[in-house]
C-alpha cells in the first residue's frame, strides 16, 4: 500500500511540474476550436512525458486517474480552470488509449469504480466559514469540482449525480454572504457550464438515466429547501428555478466579479442550449485530431525504425558478401 501511494505521488508531482512548465496564457478572443486544439495538444504531450507507474494497462489507467485527482487537490495554480480541463482531457485520452474501450465505453460514456469512490468523497466535502485555512480549502474544492465536471463532460457517467448535488448546494440552499457562498455559486456555475446539456436531457427524459441517477430519491438528487425538498428532481420547473436563481445571484453585489462572469456564462448556455452541443463537438474533434496525429507519428517512427533495420541488415550482408568474395 505504501509503495502504491509513493508511486502515485511521484506521478502526481510529475503532472504538476509538467503543467507548471506550460505557462498557460489566455489568448484574448481566442476561438473555441483553437482553444480546444491547444488544450488537446497539451493533454497529449502530458501523457507522452509522464512515465507510467504500472506496466499493466488497467492499473495504469486507474493510477493516472488517482494522480490527476491528487494534482487537482494539491496544485494551486494561477490557471487552475484550464489545468483541470487539460487533466480531464488527458484522462479521457488515457482511457481511450489504455482502457477497455470496447466493453466499457458505450456511446461515448465510460465508468471507473475508482472515480466513483473519489466522486463520493467529493460530495462529502462541505466547507464552512469557521474552517481553518479556509481559502486554501475553497480553492482545492473549486479545483476538484472543476476537474470532475470536465470528466463528466468527457463521458464519465458516474459523476452526474454530483452535478445535481453541487448545483443544489449553490442555488437551492440558504447561505450567508461570504467566501463560502461565492465558492458554492462558482462551483454550481462550473457544473452547469460543463454538464448542463446532460442534465437538461435527463430532466427532459431525452437521456437514458445512468447508474448514479436511476434512483431519484437519493440525497444527491433531492432538491434543496429554497426550491422544495419534496418536489421531484427531474422537472423543467427545477430547471427554470435554476435559471431564476442564477439571474438573481449574478446581480448580487456580494459576489466576486469573476464569479459573476462565470454565472453569466452558465445562464447564457441555459438560455441557448445549442451552445453546449457546439462546445462538445469542437472538443471531440480536437481530441480525435490529436490522437490521430499521435498515431500517425508512432506509425512513422516504427516505419523509420524498420527501414533503418532493413538498411543495416542489407549493409551488413553486403560487407559479409565482399569479405567472402575476397577470401575466395
Q: What is the mean pLDDT of residues 121-129?
A: 71
CA distances from 8 to 51, 54, 129, 145, 325 (A): 11, 10, 32, 21, 59
Nearest C-alpha neighbor of 249 from the set 308, 316, 306, 192: 192
Q: Is 210 helix (H, G, I), strand (E, B) or coil?
A: coil
Q: Say yes or no to pLDDT of 278 above 80.
A: yes
The answer to whether residues 233 and 217 touch, using CB atoms and an 8 Å cutoff, is no
pLDDT band at 15 (very low <50, low <70, confident <90, very high): confident
Q: What is the pLDDT of residues 39-69, one digit of tens each?
A: 888 888 888 877 665 556 556 777 788 788 8
Q: How far apart are CA 69 and CA 324, in angstroms?
A: 63
CA distance 47 to 64: 9
Predicted pLDDT at 106:
47
Q: What is the pLDDT of residue 245?
A: 95
> How much is the pLDDT for 316?
59
CA-to-CA dists, residue 158 to 28, 51, 109, 178, 282, angstroms: 35, 27, 9, 31, 23
Q: Is the pLDDT of residue 72 over 90?
A: no
Separation of alpha carbons 298 and 108, rounded Å:
25
pLDDT of residue 212: 53
Separation between Cα atoms, residue 161 and residue 210, nearest integer Å: 9
Q: Residue 208: is its pLDDT beyond 60?
A: no
- Average pLDDT for 121-139: 74
User: What tens digit of pLDDT does each residue of 285-325 get?
Assistant: 888 888 888 777 665 554 555 555 556 555 655 655 556 55
Q: What residues pair up with 156 in beta bridges, in sequence order?
A: 110
Query: In the prediction, which pLDDT does 61 show?
Result: 74
Mean pLDDT score of the chain: 77
Long-range Cβ contact pairs of 247-251 (< 8 A, separation 24 or more): 249/171, 249/185
pLDDT tens-digit readout, 136-160: 888 888 888 999 999 888 888 778 8
Which of 212-216, 222-226, 229-233, 238-242 bottoms out in mean pLDDT, i.e. has the lowest? 212-216
Distance CA 40, CA 47 (A): 11
Distance CA 235, CA 216 (A): 11
For residue 188, name the pLDDT band (cuts at 50, 70, 90).
Answer: very high
- The confidence band for 104, taking pLDDT boundaries of 50, 70 and 90, is very low
Report the percentage of the chain scoring pLDDT > 70: 69
pTM confidence score: 0.81
Between CA 139 and CA 207 the distance in angstroms is 32
Neighbours of 231 (CB within 10 A): 12
Alpha-carbon separation of residue 221 from 161, 167, 206, 213 (angstroms): 6, 10, 18, 8
Flag whether pLDDT at 259 surpasses 90.
Answer: yes
* Per-residue confidence (pLDDT) for residue 70, from 0 to 100: 79
pLDDT digits (tens, 9 = 90+) for 76-98: 566 777 888 888 888 888 888 87
> Which residue do the cell numbers 426550491 mark?
227
Cβ-count burial of 19 within 10 angstroms (0-12 exposed, 13-18 middle, 19+ buried)? Answer: buried
What pLDDT shows up at residue 103? 44
Contacts 24+ apart (CB under 8 A), 208-212: 210/109, 210/157, 210/158, 210/160, 211/111, 211/157, 211/158, 212/116, 212/157, 212/158, 212/159, 212/160, 212/161
Q: Which residues pair with 162 in a beta bridge?
A: none
Amino acid at each position: 500500500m505504501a509503495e502504491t501511494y509513493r508511486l502515485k505521488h511521484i506521478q502526481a508531482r510529475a503532472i504538476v511540474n509538467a503543467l507548471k512548465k506550460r505557462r498557460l496564457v489566455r489568448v484574448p478572443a481566442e476561438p473555441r476550436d483553437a482553444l480546444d486544439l491547444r488544450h488537446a495538444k497539451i493533454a497529449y504531450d502530458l501523457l507522452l512525458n509522464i512515465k507510467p507507474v504500472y506496466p499493466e494497462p488497467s492499473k495504469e489507467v486507474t493510477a493516472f486517474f488517482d494522480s490527476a485527482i491528487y494534482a487537482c487537490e494539491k496544485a494551486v495554480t494561477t490557471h487552475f480552470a484550464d489545468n483541470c480541463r487539460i487533466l480531464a482531457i488527458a484522462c479521457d485520452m488515457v482511457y481511450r488509449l489504455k482502457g477497455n474501450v470496447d466493453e466499457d465505453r458505450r456511446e461515448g460514456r465510460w465508468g471507473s469504480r475508482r472515480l466513483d469512490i473519489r466522486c463520493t468523497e467529493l460530495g462529502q466535502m462541505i466547507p464552512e466559514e469557521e474552517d481553518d485555512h479556509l481559502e486554501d480549502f475553497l480553492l482545492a474544492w473549486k479545483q476538484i469540482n472543476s476537474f470532475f465536471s470536465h470528466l463528466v463532460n468527457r463521458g464519465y457517467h458516474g459523476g452526474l449525480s454530483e452535478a445535481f448535488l453541487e448545483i443544489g448546494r449553490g442555488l437551492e440552499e440558504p447561505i450567508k454572504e461570504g467566501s463560502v457562498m461565492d465558492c458554492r455559486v462558482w462551483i454550481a456555475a462550473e457544473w452547469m457550464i460543463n454538464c448542463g446539456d446532460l442534465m437538461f436531457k435527463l430532466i427532459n427524459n431525452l437521456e437514458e438515466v445512468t447508474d448514479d441517477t436511476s434512483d431519484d430519491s437519493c440525497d444527491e438528487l433531492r432538491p434543496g429547501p429554497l426550491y422544495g425538498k419534496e418536489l421531484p428532481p427531474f422537472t423543467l420547473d427545477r430547471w427554470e428555478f435554476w435559471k431564476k436563481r442564477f439571474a438573481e445571484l449574478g446581480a448580487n453585489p456580494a459576489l466576486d466579479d469573476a464569479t459573476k462572469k462565470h454565472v453569466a456564462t452558465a445562464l447564457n448556455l441555459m438560455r441557448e442550449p445549442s451552445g453546449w452541443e457546439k462546445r462538445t463537438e469542437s472538443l471531440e474533434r480536437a481530441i480525435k485530431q490529436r490522437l490521430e496525429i499521435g498515431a500517425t507519428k508512432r506509425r512513422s517512427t516504427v516505419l523509420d525504425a524498420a527501414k533503418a533495420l532493413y538498411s543495416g541488415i542489407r549493409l551488413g550482408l553486403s560487407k559479409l558478401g565482399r569479405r567472402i568474395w575476397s577470401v575466395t
